[in-house]
Amino acid sequence: MVTPTQRREVVAWAQAAYGLAERQACRAVGVHRSLVRYRSVKPSQEPLRRRLRELAASRVSWGYPRLTILLRREDWHVNHKRVYRLYTEEGLALKRKRPKRRKSATVRQIRTEAGAPNERWAMDFVHDVLAGGRTIRILAAIDTFTRECVALVARRSFKGEDVAVILTEAGRARGALPALISVDNGTEFTSRALDHWAYWNKIQLDFSRPGKPTDNAHIESFNATLRRECLSQHWFIDFDDARLTLEKWRDDYNKFRPHSSLGQIPPRHFRLGGAFNLGPKRLQNSTAPWT
């Protein structure tokens, strides 16, 4: 017997099994009678439990730390320990099987981290399947300093020219192109068209080593988040549905999703240099707006 609840259960069992009075049962099992008769005066946690269940249902891939941030944005005065307790009691804990990682004896190539927005971008492709069985490719590009997703485009296939056009549009939307872009050795990135585009725009293409995805770790981490929080939760009907869903998710990722490497601030607010504090009026519904 450790918790008060367990002790009350033992007293109740002794009363039912042996027909003892409450005082006799407490004396027999060594429990103070005040513990059995105590009734909590704390306010009910049911509203918080209900809101936590709603958030967990809309953000099925989020754990309790990010759910705690969403609750605080809605002016719930809670700490992470209370949220964790309710999170586990409601059976919302995620069960993930993490793959075993083999340690490599090779020396990793040292790459300098970006020190300002639009200094270094990273991009890669992600594959998915439509409801009809057709495969699609998604070009994802992020700013490695602000962690913003600057481009998220789905198409049947890509050429080097298509990648150059998408990057040009992303640079126009952000006001500048980066000085360096980290890529792998895919045919679209090693094409002559993209090489010419990079040369005329004075952009360096930083190719990762073959078989070393950790050389481009920022985009690999983003791809995992994209797969877990968007692609695995949606069954795209066609390309238009995929484009609309991806754009809504990108907007939510940049403006609302707390990012652990940025001090739990959304990427766009981090770039603007302001704290993220949305009250319940401004954040009318913190459930996923892109679902």
Write the CA distances from 150 to 42, 90, 147, 177, integer angstroms.
47, 37, 9, 11
Q: Kindly indicate the confidence band of residue 98, based on its pLDDT and cuts at 50, 70 and 90.
A: low
- Whether 162 has a pLDDT exceeding 90, the answer reads yes
Percent above pLDDT 90 for the chain: 64
Confirm if 29 and 9 have CB atoms less than 8 A apart.
no
Q: Kindly list the domain boundaries of the chain, sorted by start residue.
A: 4-37, 46-89, 120-255
The pTM for the full model equals 0.74
Fold classification of 120-255 (topology level): Nucleotidyltransferase; domain 5 (3.30.420)
Region 273-277 average pLDDT: 57
Region 4-25 average pLDDT: 92
Q: Kindly indicate the confidence band of residue 279, based on its pLDDT and cuts at 50, 70 and 90.
A: very low
Region 111-134 average pLDDT: 89
pLDDT of residue 97: 67
Region 101-113 average pLDDT: 56
Average pLDDT for the chain: 86
Strands 180-183 and 120-129: parallel
Listed in sequence order, the DSSP H helices in the chain are: 4-18, 22-29, 33-37, 46-58, 64-73, 80-89, 160-174, 192-200, 217-229, 239-255, 267-272
pLDDT of residue 101: 61
Region 20-42 average pLDDT: 90
Query: Lowest mean pLDDT: which of 252-256, 270-274, 281-285?
Result: 281-285
pLDDT of residue 109: 56
* Token pair of 138 as six digits: 């998604």
